[in-house]
Amino acid sequence: MSAESRPAIDGRIAELDDGQRRLLFDRRVGDAGEVADATRALLALVRSEGDDALFDFARRFDGVELDALEVPREKWGEALESLDSEVIDALTRAARNIETFHRAQLPSDVEVEVEPGVTLGRVFVPLEAVGVYAPGGRAAYPSSVLMGVVPARAAGVKEIVVCSPPGPDGMPSPVVLAAAAIGGATRLFAVGGAGAIGALAFGTGSIPRCAAVVGPGNRWVLEAKQQVAGEVIIDSPAGPSEVLVVAEEGCAQPAWLAAELIAQAEHDPDAAVAFVTTSPSLLEAVRRELRIGVAATPRREVVAEALSTRGALLLAADHDEMMTFAEAYAGEHVVLCTRDPRADRAGMRTPGTVFLGGASSVAFGDYMTGANHVLPTAGTARSFSGLSALDFLRSYTWQELTAEGAAGMAGPVATLAEAEGLPGHATAARLRGSKAGEETS
């Protein structure tokens, strides 16, 4: 295998050393301290200087002098008109599928009488304003615009603010503007990176402060989301893309499997891709296809760097070892090309999303199936879930006691209140309990 397409790890699971295990299971990117410090400084500037900091970041990081941060609606319309109808049709179809799948997941309000005369409810309400980040450094991400905006709209959010980095003309690409229009965003700003996350979380002269900031991004975006997490709701740590392909002999063509690895590796040199199989001959065939695919891709540089930094080709002793590895990896995307992918899926708790069978390429989910592609990375799928309409809702409970309910509960509540040394609570309960009927009539 040429140096360019050689993965960082190539061998048997049983023979992995500690360093290799760390690389596979602790996939945080960059020098955590360095990225954290740089991001903290950028966020502090957004807080103190607002829009001025964002104009400066556009100059420094995007290489463009902006006249304005906001992209007006006329430009969205012009973008829609300028694009091929195939692109508009594809965006529209993706938006429709995202809406169908996310609407089906909206939670229902709850009302329960827990004791006679004591009724409780839980209601879900949309957040007022939310910020959706769509990346735009090494590629344009209209698909991420839809993945954030459409579920927010399905949840009933009124103000949906998109931020995405400016291109050389001072605006995100026309496809991003078109996606904002098709998805139903309300405002769009040509702002990228940590600056965008800070602006959406704190508010600036131009950008409204949002109750939630969601969306994927590179190491700086990821770090910035984590640093503002105490002030606003964020979704999962959706950082540089990942895939784990799990395959058994005869379940998919080696070229398809290698293509899955190359597809996610082409996002970012920080991407992590791994392949695990029980078959030595399939491993060899995928190794060969990877070499061919890397040599052929126009994004060779990014793919080769990702592969050589966080790429892995692994041989498992048996099906058990293969699935145990997959569970421990907790990948953003897991592709199961095994004899019984449904049964294997049912045994998993840690994936971001699972693709079942050889036909189910991650690319379908990245763009069009309607499941959300904004997913936890770096093993955080152990704890976090992918973006959904739930991220745009908050809930509160309500409680109603009738006179009968109050009478039934007053004594035991007073007992607990006195046990806690809080006599005021005991009095409030007893007052209702004793003469509840008379007092309320």
Ligand X SMILES: NC(=O)c1ccc[n+]([C@@H]2O[C@H](COP(=O)([O-])OP(=O)(O)OC[C@H]3O[C@@H](n4cnc5c(N)ncnc54)[C@H](O)[C@@H]3O)[C@@H](O)[C@H]2O)c1
Ligand Y SMILES: N[C@H](CO)Cc1c[nH]c[nH+]1
Q: Amino acid identity, residue 187?
A: R
Between 16 and 246, name the residue whose CB sits nearer to ligand Y: 246
Residue 338 binding: pick among ligand X, Zn ion, ligand Y, none (C-beta 5-8 Å cut-off by kind): none
Residue 359, φ and ψ in degrees, nearest 5? -75, -15
330: left (phi over 0), alpha (psi -120 to 50) or beta: left
Is the distance from CB of 182 to CB of 94 less than 8 angstroms?
A: no
For 422, residues 6+ apart whose C-beta sits below 8 A from its C-beta are none
388 touches ligand Y by CB under 6 A: no
Least Å from the CB of residue 270 to ligand X: 6
Subset of 167-196 contacting ligand X (CB under 6 A): 192-195
Helices and strands in the chain: count of H runs, count of E runs: 17, 14
Interface with ligand X by CB under 6 A: which range of 235-243, 255-263, 309-317, 336-344? 235-243
Phi, psi of 131 (to 5 degrees): -110, 135
Are 137 and 107 within 8 A, CB to CB? Answer: no
Q: Which of 248, 358, 377, 223 is nearest to 310 (CA)?
A: 377
DSSP letters spanning 28-47: --S-HHHHHHHHHHHHHHHH
Q: Are the beta carbons of 69 and 206 closer than 8 angstroms?
A: yes
Site for ligand X in 312-351 (CB under 6 A): 332
Does 268 sit near ligand X (CB under 6 A)? yes
431 binds, among ligand X, Zn ion, ligand Y, none (CB under 5 to 8 A by kind): none
Using CB under 6 A, pick the residue from 51, 62, 248, 366 that binds ligand Y: 366
Q: Is 332 a catalytic residue?
A: yes
Which is the catalytic residue, given 223, 248, 266, 332? 332
Our CB check for ligand Y shows the closer of 269 and 405 to be 269
Tell me the window of 120-128, 129-137, 340-348, 406-414 that interacts with ligand X (CB under 6 A): 129-137
Q: Is 333 a catalytic residue?
A: yes
Catalytic residue among 115, 333, 400, 439: 333
Pairing of strands 311-315, 272-277: parallel
The verdict on 236 binding ligand Y (CB under 6 A) reads no
The least CB distance from residue 61 to Zn ion, in Å, is 22
- 10 Å CB burial of residue 217 (0-12, 13-18, 19+) is buried
Cα–Cα distance measured from residue 197 to residue 214, given in angstroms and rounded to the nearest whole number: 9
Q: Is 366 in the site for Zn ion (CB under 5 A)?
A: yes
Q: Which is nearer to ligand X, 207 or 221 (CB)?
A: 221
CB nearer to ligand Y: give 248 or 332. 332
Q: Is 420 annotated as a binding residue?
A: yes
Q: Which of 310, 333, 373, 432 binds ligand X (CB under 6 A)?
A: 373
Per-residue binder mask for ligand Y (CB under 6 A), 124-143, x = binder: -----------------x-x
x-or-dash string of contact with ligand Y, 258-297, rule CB under 6 A: ------x---------------------------------
Residues near ligand X (CB under 6 A), total? 34
Is 264 labeled as ligand-binding? yes
Task: Count the residues in the chain.
Answer: 441
Distance of CA 116 to the CA centre of its chain: 43
Restricted to residues 162-201, the positions that interact with ligand Y (CB under 6 A) are none
Q: Is 218 in the site for ligand Y (CB under 6 A)?
A: no
Q: Would you count residue 392 as binding ligand Y (CB under 6 A)?
A: no
- Conformational region of residue 370, where left means phi above 0, alpha means psi within -120 to 50, and beta covers everything else: left
> Applying CB under 6 A, does 355 fall inside the site for ligand Y?
no
Task: Pick the closest to residue 365 from 243, 277, 281, 266 (CA basis).
Answer: 243
Tokens for 106, please give them: 């909206």
* 149 makes contact with ligand X (CB under 6 A): no
Cβ-proximal residues to 322 (8 Å cutoff; 6+ apart), any chain: 13, 246, 276, 277, 278, 316
CB 202 within 8 A of CB 345: no
Structure token pair of residue 22: 């760390």
**With 0-12 CB in 10 A as exposed, 13-18 as middle and 19+ as buried, what is 65?**
exposed
Strand partners, 187: 161
Annotated binding residue 319: no
238 binds ligand X (CB under 6 A): yes
Pick the binder of ligand Y from 373, 379, 392, 393 (CB under 6 A): 373
Binding site for Zn ion (CB under 5 A): 366
- Binding site per annotation, positions: 241, 264, 267, 333, 366, 420, 425
- Binding site per annotation, positions for Zn(2+): 264, 267, 366, 425
Active site residues: 332-333
Binding site for ligand Y (CB under 6 A): 141, 143-144, 241, 264, 332, 366, 373
Binding site for ligand X (CB under 6 A): 38, 57, 61-62, 135-139, 141, 144, 165, 192-195, 216-218, 220-221, 238-241, 267-268, 270-271, 332, 373-375, 377
